[in-house]
Amino acid sequence: MTKQFVLDTNTAIAIMNGDAQIDRFLEGVLSVSFLPSSVLGELYYGAEKSGCVQENLKRVGEFAARRIILHCDQDTARHYGSIFAKLRKKRTTCATK
């Protein structure tokens, strides 16, 4: 059975760093990983500010090459911006109420 996953930044980093818990979860499962372009941007940002820029840029590129990149359109980006602005005004996140 194929399972599909959309990766967030923390999970992507955990996979790139060989997190044993993620490896156990994915073990024996044929899966397809989707990587939102915003998450990919965060990974590249982290690589650029790291102490090993070229090495980490290469790691991110190789990681991304094995994923399906999800691009967003203008309507999605505008909706994201609106939600983010409202949350910032409330000084909260989606995880808290």
pLDDT tens for 41-93 read 999 999 999 999 999 999 999 999 999 999 988 888 888 788 778 888 887 65
pLDDT of residue 95: 55
Q: What is the pLDDT of residues 23-37, one digit of tens each?
A: 788 777 767 889 999
Q: State the average pLDDT for the chain.
A: 86
Strand partners, 2: 30
Residue indicated by tokens 């818990």: 21
Q: For the chain, which residues make up each domain, given as ranges? A: 2-72
Spatial distance between the Cα atoms of 84 and 97, rounded to a whole number of angstroms: 15
Nearest alpha-carbon partner for 13 in 58, 43, 54: 43
Options 3.90.1170.50, 3.40.50.2020, 3.40.50.1010, 1.10.3720.10; which CATH number does 2-72 get?
3.40.50.1010
pTM of the model: 0.73
* Per-residue CA distances from 23 to 20, 38, 95 (Å): 5, 24, 25
SS3 88: helix
